[in-house]
Amino acid sequence: MPSTRPAERAAPAREEPAPLHSGVHAELSRRFITGQVTPGSSLSTRGLAEEMGVSQTPVREALSRLAAEGAVQIRSKRKIIVPTMTPERFRELLRCRELLEPEAAMRALPYIDAARLRRLKRVDDSIGSAIANGDLQGYMQGNFDFHFLIYDALPRGILNRLIEILWLQFGPYMRVVYGRVGTANLVDQHEVAINAIGAGDADALGRAILADIRDGMDLIGKSALCMLA
């Protein structure tokens, strides 16, 4: 099972029950990263509470965290909404990714061992089959797992946390873009990255990650034609 838990890497060995708000936040994060929420839609504390079988209190706490992470905006008009998608915001998101992710990958490279590299290849395969099956959600989950399998080789990083925040905001947008232009024309930069890792070539790895992000940048250009709201 791929790690779907973004932040909270707790609950290691002890049989200590994880706080409910932590579970709610993990579930919501998964939905955001896999694009199961659409920009502009609204969430409600009561609705989510009932859906997840908990009270409002842990849901509110989780939503507070998501608000701090920029995944949701809390309007004073008694509305909690997913930020609407604008080309400017999308572009800035990608530029921040360009700034952080190649650096994170290059730094993490020395810590990627053979086992992790095998897992990377396995995840990349699952991404391929997800694309073949038109499984958008599976593709996005795999894409997330792939990138963070690299970055998290260097553990406990502040840098990785920042990148995670970007992905939380990024997921809902990507969903929309993929829904418009499809995933067919995806060039697989992941294979290039895997080869760079195998060769221990940090610069090549950084370039591959950068190219992967730039591909997303191109997608928005292509989808900008039909994008108006």
Partner DNA sequence: GTCAAGAATCTGTGATGGCAGATGCCGGAG
Partner DNA sequence: CTCCGGCATCTGCCATCACAGATTCTTGAC
Residues that bind its own copies (CB under 8 A): 7, 10, 16, 18-19, 21, 57, 60-62, 64-70, 76, 89, 92-93, 95-96, 99-100, 103, 157-159, 161-162, 165-166, 169
β-partners of residue 42 are 81
- Exposure letters 42-76 (e unless 16+ CB within 10 A, then b): ebebeebbeebebeeebbebbbebbeebebbeeee
Tokens of 29: 């994060």
- Contact segment (CB under 7 A) with DNA among 70-78, 96-104, 121-129, 197-205 equals 70-78
CB 127 within 8 A of CB 143: yes
DSSP E strand boundaries for 26-135: 42-43, 73-75, 79-81
Cβ-defined contacts of 223-229 (< 8 Å, 24+): 223/176, 223/177, 223/180, 223/181, 224/87, 226/180, 227/85, 227/87, 227/180, 229/84
Q: Give the whole-angstrom CA distance, residue 131 versus residue 159.
A: 29
Alpha-carbon distance of 202 to 205, in angstroms, equals 5
* Site membership for DNA, residue 61 (CB under 7 A): yes
Nearer to its own copies, 65 or 147 (CB): 65
Cβ neighbours for 114, distance < 8 A, ≥ 6 positions apart = none
Out of 11, 20, 202, 227, point to the residue binding DNA (CB under 7 A).
Answer: 20
CB of 162 to its own copies, least distance (A): 5
Residue 45 binds to DNA (criterion: CB under 7 A): yes
Could you tell which of DNA, its own copies, none binds residue 157, using a CB distance below 5 to 8 A set by kind?
its own copies
Q: Which is nearer to DNA, 79 or 95 (CB)?
A: 79
56 contacts DNA (rule: CB under 7 A): yes
Residue 130 interacts, among its own copies, DNA, none and using kind-specific CB cut-offs from 5 to 8 Å, with none
**Residue whose CB is less far from its own copies, 2 or 19:** 19
Task: Closer to DNA by CB, 79 or 118: give it.
Answer: 79
Task: Pick the binder of DNA from 28, 33, 43, 150 (CB under 7 A).
Answer: 43
Q: Which residues sit at the interface with DNA, rule CB under 7 A?
A: 3, 6, 16, 19-22, 42-47, 54-58, 60-61, 74, 76-80
